Structure 1
Amino acid sequence: MKKFINSIDNLLDESLSGFAKAHADIIQLNTQPHFVRRNKPTAPGKVALISGGGSGHEPLHSGFVGSGMLDAACPGQVFTSPTPDQMLAAAQAMENGGGVLFIVKNYAGDVMNFEIAAEMLDCPHDTVLACDDVAFPKTHSTGRRGVAGTLIVEKIIGAAAESGADLAACKALGDRVNIATASMGVALTSCTVPALGKPTFDIGENEIEMGVGIHGERGRERLTMRSATEIVDYLSGIIDDDLKPQKGQSALLHINGFGATPLMELHLIYELASRFWEKRGVNICRSLVGNYTTSLDMAGCSITLSLLDEELLRLWDAPVHTAALRWGC
C-alpha cells in the first residue's frame, strides 16, 4: 500500500483540518465531536439540512456544505458511519427555527445512528432516505443502497430550503427526487482501506464487478472485461428498465468516478450514456461529470439518471456555493 499517510489513527483528523483551512471562506470544522458546518448564518426559520457518512467518499458529504446545499455534514472514519453524538451536535448547532431534515444513505449503520440522533433531538425533524442504487431490486431485504444519486437529492433539497421551503415540503421534495433517480456502478479494481492495508476484494485482471457498492460491496454480476459501449449499455439498460422514462422526458445525467478513473474516460462514458438515452427520445438537459461520490482509490464509475420536471430543473439550476459544487453565485 502506497498512500500519503503519517498515521492511520490521525488520517481523518489531519485531512479534515486541511479541508477546513482550504475552504475557510465557506466552512468551518467543529471538533469533539467532528462535523463540518457552513460559515455564514442562515435565515431565521430555514430548515437545517444535515447529512454524513463514512469518509473515503469525498467530496460527499463535506464537500457539499455551503450556501444552497447542506448546512452540516458528519464524517465518520473510513467507510464507517458517524456517531449519533456527531449528528446530534450538528443538528443542534444548525437548527434555526425551521426544524432539521436528515439526508441519509441507506446503509444499516448510517440509518441506525441517524435514528438514534433524531430520537434525542428536541425540535421538529424528519429524514429522507437515499436509495438510488438499482443493482438490486426494490424488494431486497435491506432495501437499495444510497450512492451517487444522494448528491442530487442534497442539491435539490438544498435549493428549496435556501428559498424558504418548510420541513414538510423539503421532505416531500427529497422523496420525490429519490424516486425519480437511479444509479448503477461498475468497478475495474478494488479500493484499499488504509487500516486494512490491502485491496478490499479480489478481482482478476480481466474481470469487472457490475453493480458494485461504494464500499466495494459485491454487485449483481462479475463479468469479463468488455468494451466501454457494452459496459454503458448494460448499466444504462438496467437504469432505463427501472425508471422507464418516456419520450420527451427531461433528465439529468451524472457520471461519477470512484476515485481512480481519469476524466478522459468519464467523459467517454458520458458520451456513450447520453447516446443511449437520446436514441430513446430522452432529453438529457443537464449533466454532471467527475469524482463526486468516490470509493477511495477504486477504478470504476457509476451512471445516474434523474428525471426532471420544471420545478426540479429550476432547483438544480439554483445558485450553490460549496467546496465541490458551485455555480450561479
Structure 2
Amino acid sequence: MKKLINSVDTVLSDSLAGFCAAHADILTPGGDFKFVRRRELKPGKVALISGGGSGHEPLHAGLVGRGMLDAACPGQIFTSPTPDQMLAAAEAVDTGAGVLLIVKNYEGDVMNFDMASEMSSGSVASVITNDDVAVEDSLYTTGRRGVAGTLVVEKIVGAAAEEGGDLASLKALGERVNGATRSMGVALTSCTVPAAGKPMFEIGDDEMEMGVGIHGEPGRRRVKLASADKIAEEMIAAIVNDFGERPKGDVLLFVNGFGATPAMELYLMYDSAARELQKHGIRIARSLVGSYVTSLDMAGCSLTVTFLDEEMLRLWDAPVHTAALRWGC
C-alpha cells in the first residue's frame, strides 16, 4: 500500500487539519474536529447538517458553506460519526430556526442521527436519501443506499434554507428532491482503506462491478469489462426504468467519479450517458461532472439523474460558495 500519510491512526485528523486550513475563509473546525461548520452563521436560518464516514471527500465537509451545509460530521473512514458529534454540531449551528439533518440511508448513519435528534433540545427534522437503484438491500442498509444524489439534495435544500425556508418546508423539499433522484455506480477496481492496507475486494483486470456501493459493497453482478457506451446504456436504463411511468421534464445529469477516475473518462461517460438519455426522450437542463462522492481510490463512476421542476431548477442555480462547489458568487 502506498499512501501519502503520516500514520494510519492520524489519517483523518491530519486531513481535516489541512482541509480547514486551506478553506479557513469558509469554515472552521468545531469540538476538536468533531465537526466542521460554516465560519459565519446566518441568524434565523434553519441549519443544515450532514455527515457520514470519511473516505468520500469532498462529501460532506467540502459542501459546508453559503448555500449548502452549515455543518458536517466526519466519522472514521467508512464509519458513521457518533451521536455526540452530531449533537455538538447541532448545538453549534442552530441559530433558533431549528436543524435539518440530511442522512444517507446506511444503518449506522440513520441510527446515530436518530439518537442525536432524540438527545437534542431544539427543533430537529431529518431527510433520508436513498437514490441508489442498484440493489434494494446491501451490507450496510435496510432499503436502498444513499449515494451521490445526496449532494443534489444538499444543494437544492441548502439554497432554499439560505432564502429563509422554514424547517417543515425544507424537509418536504428534501424529500421531493430525493424522490426525483436516482443513481447507479460501476467500479473498475477496489478501494484500499489505510487501516486494512489492501484492497477491500478482488476484481480481475477484465472485470467490473455493476451497481457497486460507495463503500465497495457488492453491486448487482460482476461482469466482463465493457465499453463506456454499453456501461452507460445499462445504467441509464436501470435509472429510467426505476422511475416507473415515463418521467416528464428536464433533468440534471451528474457524472460522479469514485476517486481514481480521470476527468477525461468522466466527460467521456457524460457523453455516453447524455446520448442514452436522449434516446429516452429526456432533455438535460443542467450538468455536473467531477469526483464529489468518492470511495477513496476506487476507479469507476456513478450516474445520477434528477428530474427538476421550476423551483428545483432555480434553487440548483442559486449561488453557492463551498470548498467543492462554487457558482453565482
Match of 1:127 in 2: 126
Aligned residue for 1:24, secondary structure, equals coil
- The percent of aligned pairs where both chains have the same amino acid is 65
Where do residues 294-309 of structure 1 align in structure 2 (5 Å cutoff)? 294-309=294-309
Q: 1:150 to 1:202 in 2, by over 3 A?
A: same
For 1:89, the equivalent position in structure 2 comes to 88
Aligned ranges 1:113-124 → 2 under 5 Å: 113-124=112-123
Cα offset, 1:40, TM superposition: 1.2
Question: 1:40: which partner in 2?
Answer: 40
Which aligned pairs between 1:135-154 and structure 2 lie closer than 5 A? 135-137=134-136, 142-154=142-154
Matched residues in 2 for 1:161 and 1:145: separation? 25
1:214 paired with 2:253, answer no
The residue identity in structure 2 corresponding to 1:129 is: I
- Residue 283 of structure 1 and its aligned partner are, at CA, apart by 1.3
Structure 1 residue 245: Cα displacement: 7.2
What runs of 5+ residues in structure 2 fail to find an aligned partner? none
Aligned to 1:327: 327
| CA displacement at 1:34 relative to structure 2 | 1.2
CA apart distance, 1:297: 0.1
Partners of 2:138 and 2:217 within 8 A in 1: no
* 2-structure distance, mates of 1:299, 1:245: 33
Whole-Å Cα distance in 1 between the matches of residues 248 and 118 of structure 2? 44
Aligned to 1:161: 161
Aligned to 2:194: 194
Distance change in 2, residues 1:242/1:5 (3 Å): same
Separation in structure 2 between the aligned mates of residue 50 and residue 41 of structure 1, nearest angstrom: 13
Further displaced range: 30-39 or 81-90: 30-39
Paired amino acid for 1:105: K
Normalising by the residue count of structure 1, what TM-score does the alignment of the two structures yield? 0.97
Q: Distance in 1 between matches of 2:73 and 2:138?
A: 29
Contact 1:188 1:208 in 2 (8 A): yes
Deviations 1:2-59 (A, max 9, x none): 00111111111110000000000000011336100001121x3211100000000000
Per the alignment, in what secondary structure is the counterpart of residue 12 of structure 1?
helix
Structure 2 Cα separation of the partners of residues 247 and 297 of structure 1: 34
C-alpha distance in 2 between matches for 1:100 and 1:128: 11
- The answer to whether the 8 A contact 1:147-1:293 is kept is yes
Q: Measure how far apart 1:280 and its partner are.
A: 2.0
Q: Report the secondary structure of 1:13's partner residue.
A: helix
**Equivalent-residue separation in structure 2 for 1:33 and 1:5 (angstroms):** 18
Q: Which consecutive unaligned segments of at least 5 residues does structure 1 have?
A: none
User: How many angstroms apart in 2 are the aligned matches of 1:243 and 1:265?
Assistant: 27
The separation in 2 between residues aligned to 1:167 and 1:247, in whole angstroms, is: 29
Residue aligned with 1:223, SS: strand
Describe how 1:1-329 pairs up with structure 2 within 5 A: 1-32=1-32, 34-42=34-42, 44-137=43-136, 142-244=142-244, 246=246, 249-329=249-329
8 Å contact from structure 1 (residues 245, 307) kept in 2: no
TM-score, normalised by the number of residues in structure 2: 0.97
CA RMSD of aligned residues (A): 1.5
Letter in 2 for 1:46: K
CA drift of 1:123 comes to: 1.0
